[in-house]
């Protein structure tokens, strides 16, 4: 078992040869499959979407609410994107928006009472779906994976 006897690679110039590349492709694949599942579940069972859930989750964690910019940074999405998602949640009465008294340009968005109740329902189901997927994953391996992903994230966040 030398360092180089994996599967193929050798002199093929491309073809997902190196370990980094395969790992990256696999990571993206896992994320994509999982997201697909979650999106379908949210759509079918609750008639909502993953991005809207993400916004609600971010707001739930901060009872005082967040500005649009803070939301955008928290969710890693563009500023303009948050605008439309928040607007939809607003139409549904799940979030409310109040002008920041310190800065009239900025609005503080927060969950309404209905929004908090709604989020708890969604989050419960969300947790259950995730737990189901990982039911057969040994806890010790899961801890290792969590640790490695944490390392990876700090690598990715560096030299952005």
Partner DNA sequence: CCGCTTTAGTTTAGGTTTAAAGCAAAAAGG
Partner DNA sequence: CCTTTTTGCTTTAAACCTAAACTAAAGCGG
- Please report whether residue 88 would count as binding DNA according to CB under 7 A: yes
CA of 50: how far to CAs of 43, 64, 91, 122, 133, in Å?
9, 23, 17, 10, 17
Q: Of 62 and 107, which CB lies nearer to a second copy in the complex structure?
A: 62
The partner in contact with residue 107, picked from DNA, a second copy, none with C-beta cut-offs of 5 to 8 angstroms by kind, is DNA
96 with 112: CB under 8 angstroms? yes
Strand partners, 102: none
77 binds DNA (CB under 7 A): yes
Q: Which residue blocks in 48-93 are alpha helix, DSSP H?
A: 50-61, 68-75, 79-91
Sole window of 10-18, 83-91, 125-133, 148-156 interacting with DNA (rule: CB under 7 A): 83-91
User: Residue 8 or 102: which CB sits closer to a second copy?
Assistant: 8
Q: Which does 117 bind (CB under 5 to 8 A by kind): a second copy, DNA, none?
A: none
């Amino acid at each position: 078992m030398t360092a180089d006897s994996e599967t193929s690679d050798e002199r093929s110039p491309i073809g997902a040869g190196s370990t980094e590349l395969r790992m990256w492709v696999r990571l993206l694949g896992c994320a994509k499959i999982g997201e697909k599942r979650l999106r379908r579940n949210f759509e079918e069972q609750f008639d909502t979407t993953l991005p809207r859930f993400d916004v609600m989750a971010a707001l739930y964690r901060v009872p005082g609410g967040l500005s649009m910019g803070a939301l955008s940074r928290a969710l890693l999405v563009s500023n303009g994107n948050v605008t439309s998602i928040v607007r939809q949640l607003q139409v549904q009465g799940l979030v409310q928006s109040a002008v920041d008294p310190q800065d009239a340009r900025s609005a503080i968005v927060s969950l309404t009472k209905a929004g908090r109740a709604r989020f708890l329902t969604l989050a419960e189901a969300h947790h259950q779906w995730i737990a189901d997927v990982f039911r057969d994953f040994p806890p010790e391996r899961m801890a290792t994976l969590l640790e490695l992903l944490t390392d990876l994230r700090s690598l990715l966040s560096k030299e952005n």
